[in-house]
Amino acid sequence: MQNRRLQRWFDSKGWIAVLIGTPYLWLVALFLLPFLIVLAISVATNTPTAPPFSFGGEYPWVNWGAYARIASDDLYLRAFLTSILNAFMAMIFCLLIGYPMALGLTRVPKGWRNILLMLVILPFWTSFLLRVYAWMGLMGKNSWFNGILTDLWNVLVPAAWALKSIPMMYSNFAVIVVIVYCYLPFMILPLYASLERLDTTLNEAAMDLGSRPFQVFWTITLPQSIPGIVAGGMLVFIPAAGELVIPTLVGDAAQPMIGKIIQDEFAQARDWPMAAAVAVALLVLMVIPTMIYTRYQARAEGAK
């Protein structure tokens, strides 16, 4: 009899609990909990114990020292600034390159479109690391690419400014270029999806009323694609700000980005509270962009 009742409950409600509960529990245990721990450690004190933190002193055992250092120490402030600037510049260039591509894709005849879309996605499926690596090959002092650019430079400028090679590597410029390269699909795909949904009869109506193609773009297409632009932009900006791989490989060691700072504080300086505090600070900084993203993502899809 008990079995029958259990069966009934499972059939109507129990299975739902299992369906929702299993992934929920996993995420709480392996995502939320670790994050809460980081939050807690950010207000602990760095001690030479293992693990290297402790909640010393008296109630409430909270040490705001790490956050104080972030606010006052130049190193952190500059790192945040560098990260935000690089991410922002990368986002702009992704937009400048990606928008025409996405728009062009919507104008390509149907037969070609799938192939071209596939070609856009293909680099995304290959290794991220290797894509950074590919640019390292191009930007190096002795690469053929650098050689061509140097020759071009030398032709265009007076002899006094001639160079043996263009110094591209190990700079913010390199970081921005590579971020653009690696995150471009993240901009193109949502943009394409949102542009593709637009009603082209609106464009025809505008042209019928006397507008030229560029005006049609500026007054009809562009305004409607703004949710897609913002969503795609945030999709580039937010992860780019916290990038670790790209600045390590091609960035300027004297102008670290925040991801590198977090790793250094953690692994090198063994200062967990500091690393945790910087991580939390980065997240807080990203809250507003995230909210912007969710709002515009919903709008970009609601525009269906």
Partner 1 sequence: MNRRPTFLMTALCFGFAFLYVPILSMMVYSFNGSRLATVWGGFSVKWYVSLLSNEKVIDALILSLKIAFISASVATILGTMAGIALVRFGKFRGRTLFSGLVTAPLIMPEVITGISLLIFFILMGHLIGWPSSRGFTTITLAHITFSMVFVTTIVSARMQQADRAIEEAAIDLGSRPWQVLFDITLPVISPAIWSGWLLAFTISLDDVVITTFTTGPGSTTLPLLIWSKVKLGVTPDINALATLMVVTVGAGVIAAGIIMNRAEKRRLQDERLAFRSNG
Residues 81-110 that bind partner 1 (CB under 8 A): 97-98, 100-101, 103-105, 107-108
Q: Which residue spans within the chain are E strands per DSSP?
A: none
Contact between residue 142 and residue 260 where contact means Cβ atoms under 8 Å apart: no
Q: What is the DSSP letter of 209?
A: T
The whole-angstrom separation of Cα 152 and Cα 142 is: 15
65, 239, 264, 270: residue in contact with partner 1 (rule CB under 8 A): 239
> In the bound complex, what is the minimum distance in angstroms from residue 150's beta carbon to partner 1?
13
The token duo for 104 is 């062009």
Which of the residues 148 through 207 are near partner 1 (CB under 8 A)?
181, 184, 200, 203
Contacting residues for 160 by C-beta, under 8 A, at least 6 apart: none
The whole-angstrom separation of Cα 272 and Cα 258 is: 15
Which of the residues 29 through 58 are near partner 1 (CB under 8 A)?
30-35, 37-38, 41, 50-51
56, 68, 73, 137: residue in contact with partner 1 (rule CB under 8 A): 137
The whole-angstrom separation of Cα 244 and Cα 256 is: 10
Question: Is residue 235 near partner 1 by the rule CB under 8 A?
Answer: yes
Choices 62-70, 72-80, 155-163, 233-241 (CB under 8 A): range interacting with partner 1: 233-241
CB-nearer residue toward partner 1: 122 or 162: 122
Which of the residues 5 through 34 are near partner 1 (CB under 8 A)?
10-12, 15-16, 19-20, 22-24, 26-28, 30-34
Question: Is residue 119 near partner 1 by the rule CB under 8 A?
Answer: yes
Choices 72-80, 152-160, 218-226, 240-248 (CB under 8 A): range interacting with partner 1: 240-248
* Cis peptide, bond prior to residue 51, ω within 30 of zero: yes
CB-nearer residue toward partner 1: 255 or 282: 282
Burial-class residue 40 by CB neighbours within 10 Å (0-12, 13-18, 19+). middle
